[in-house]
């Protein structure tokens, strides 16, 4: 194993004390591998078989042109000496295949920048030699808990080539096996078509995601990006466009409605003046920005050889630099996944206080809908939190509230597109202080001190600055009588 691979193993072992992963579908990796070795056979996963239903039902269904000629093959059938990781897991190992999951690819590319986070997810000590039995496993965060996901190594191929994600090195397989594990927890590969990188960022870290609209970018956003990268946060970005312009390429070779990773942010000196630069990566592994500060642009002639070497600017690998000014003019949205207290990363431990609640909207009891339904609104679940961390020494608490509906992606192939969800925040009236089991009544729910937008996404997350004190959070679907399970998370910044 490479030195970098060994480093990943060391980081994983150091973090084992904090890792308490549940066995997904009760599949125990060690027991299954041991059974296969005793029986001298390779593992075949009964829960995610090498069959058409694991690909999908509609766009990747059995009768789809996109799945014609697909064969499931193990890495040993595709090359003579397959390896799990070659020279360390890097961004170059993620080249998107024939699946519309650029959002997932961008998230995996960001994950490779943080070796301790990556080590938790991929078990880098895995290989195709020592005790090989055709079985691999990965650790993913799913709705409030870490799960250990087992897969066999049969991968969808056509004409001897991987159908979906692949590495630049044809005999390296950690990235397609991770994609398969993610497809398994989401029901099938087809369910990975279309999404937001923040969703996968959270599933790789247990983190909490924020979104910035770049046309309304705060004046200090470049510094926010630098700080987020230094903390190990995962960043992705995209250009909004109409459905007709999906993946349309601009004259400067930027792809619309396509998820890019942000992998670095630096300031360089040009003629004694500072220039702010950001580095982005296209998960396709090619198709790079062709404007100022692109790989072979004249702007690099003004940079010292030392800065050029540090910035690694000339490789044709889908990664490129551009000025921060050009970035916010051309891109539409930035997603930052903040790491949470249990993240195995030295600089991030202790950044947050956190609370987590699980609940459900049930028709006839707790599915009250938004405040447009005053007769039912008070039946929604209520959760009480105490904000007592003075984040900026101004008797205010900086708090992130995130509401996530469960299992919406798994139901995509059945036509379910999820509900519009949101939440309201109320100050606890004095008469209820010290009475944690008392719910607010309709008269108490007339004026929230804060509220989220309602969005049809897996999660809605917003940041607020609130005076110290006790609050009640009321999560809701926009319409009443809509059933779903949900996870509510509250993070206050220290």
Helix axes of 115-122 and 102-111: crossing angle, nearest 10 degrees: 120
B/e letters for 389-408, b = 16+ CB within 10 Å, e = fewer, are eebeeeebbbbbbbbbbbeb
Between β-strands 22-23 and 145-152, what pairing exists: parallel, antiparallel or unpaired? parallel
Q: What angle do CA 109, 111, 115 make, to 5 degrees?
A: 125
Specify the pairing of strand 396-405 against strand 484-493: antiparallel
Phi, psi of 139 (to 5 degrees): -110, 125
- What would the DSSP string read from start to end of 225-286? HHHHHHTT-EEEEE----GGGTTPBPTTSPBTT--EEEEEEEEEEETTEEEEEEEEE-TTS-
Sheet with 421-427: list strands edge to edge. 383-387, 469-477, 421-427, 450-451
Catalytic residue among 36, 102, 378, 397: 102
Catalytic residue check, 286: no
The torsion angles phi and psi of 74, rounded to 5 degrees, stand at -85, 155
Catalytic residue among 186, 191, 282, 338: 282
Rounded CA separation 152/466 (Å)? 49
Clarify whether 258 is annotated catalytic.
yes
CA-based nearest residue to 341, from 8, 18, 22, 16: 18
Contacts with 291 (C-beta within 8 Å, 6 or more apart), sequence order: 252, 297, 322, 326
Q: Is 137 a known active-site residue?
A: no
- Helix boundaries (H) for 331-451: 374-377
Given 95, 186, 191, 258, the catalytic residue: 258
Distance of CA 398 to the CA centre of its chain: 23
Helix 3-14 × helix 115-122 angle, to 10°: 80
Per-residue tokens: 115:
């070796």
Phi-psi map region of 478: left, alpha, beta (phi>0 left; psi -120 to 50 alpha): alpha
Asked if residue 424 lies in contact with residue 368, where contact means CB atoms within 8 angstroms, the answer is: no
| 3-class secondary structure, 41 | coil
Nearest residue to 237 (alpha-carbon basis) of 256, 250, 253: 256
Burial (CB count <10 Å: 0-12, 13-18, 19+), residue 67: buried
HSE toward the beta carbon, residue 107, CA cutoff 13 A: 26
Helix %, strand %, coil % of the chain (to 5): 30, 30, 45
Instruction: Compute the C-alpha angle 321/327/331, nearest 5°.
Output: 125
The catalytic residues are: 102, 258, 282
């Amino acid at each position: 194993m490479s030195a970098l691979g060994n480093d990943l193993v060391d980081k994983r072992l150091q973090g084992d004390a904090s890792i308490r992963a549940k066995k997904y579908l009760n599949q125990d990796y060690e027991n299954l591998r041991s059974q296969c070795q005793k029986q001298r056979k390779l593992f075949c996963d009964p829960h995610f078989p090498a069959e058409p239903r694991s690909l999908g039902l509609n766009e990747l269904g059995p009768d789809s042109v996109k799945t014609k000629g697909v064969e499931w093959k193990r890495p040993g059938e595709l090359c003579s000496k397959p390896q799990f990781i070659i020279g360390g897991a890097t961004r170059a190992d993620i080249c998107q295949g024939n699946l519309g999951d650029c959002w997932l690819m961008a998230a995996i590319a960001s994950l490779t920048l943080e070796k301790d986070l990556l080590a938790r997810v991929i078990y880098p000590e895995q290989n195709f030699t020592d005790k090989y039995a055709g079985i691999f496993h990965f650790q993913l965060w799913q709705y409030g808990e870490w799960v250990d996901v087992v897969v066999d190594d049969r991968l969808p191929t056509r004409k001897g080539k991987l159908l979906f994600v692949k590495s630049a090195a044809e005999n390296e397989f950690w990235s397609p096996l991770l994609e398969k594990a993610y497809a398994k927890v989401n029901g099938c590969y087809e369910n990975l078509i279309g999404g937001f990188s923040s969703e996968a960022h959270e599933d790789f870290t247990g983190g909490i995601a924020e979104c910035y609209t770049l046309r309304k970018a705060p004046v200090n956003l470049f510094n926010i990006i630098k700080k987020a990268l230094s903390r190990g946060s995962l960043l992705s970005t995209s250009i909004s466009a109409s459905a007709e312009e999906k993946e349309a390429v601009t004259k400067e070779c930027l792809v619309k409605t396509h998820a890019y990773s942000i992998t670095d942010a630096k300031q360089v000196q040009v003629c004694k003046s500072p220039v702010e630069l950001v580095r982005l990566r296209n998960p396709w592994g090619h198709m790079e920005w062709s404007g100022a500060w692109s790989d072979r642009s004249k702007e690099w002639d003004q940079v010292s050889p030392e800065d050029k070497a540090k910035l690694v600017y000339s490789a044709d690998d889908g990664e490129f630099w551009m000025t921060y000014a050009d970035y916010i003019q051309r891109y539409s949205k930035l997603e930052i996944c903040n790491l949470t207290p249990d993240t195995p990363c030295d600089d991030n431990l202790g950044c947050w206080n956190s609370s987590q609640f699980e609940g459900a909207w049930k028709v006839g009891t707790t599915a009250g809908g938004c405040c447009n339904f005053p007769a039912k609104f008070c039946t929604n679940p209520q959760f009480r939190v105490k904000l007592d961390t003075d984040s900026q020494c101004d008797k205010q608490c900086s708090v992130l509230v995130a509401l996530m509906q469960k299992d919406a992606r798994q139901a995509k192939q059945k036509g379910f597109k999820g509900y519009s969800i949101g939440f309201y925040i109320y100050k606890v009236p004095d008469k209820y202080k010290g009475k944690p089991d008392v719910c607010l009544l309709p008269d108490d729910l007339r004026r929230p001190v804060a509220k989220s937008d309602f969005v049809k996404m897996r999660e809605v997350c917003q940041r607020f600055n609130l005076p110290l004190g006790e609050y009640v959070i009321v999560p809701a679907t926009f319409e009443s009588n809509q059933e779903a399970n949900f996870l509510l998370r509250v993070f206050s910044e220290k």
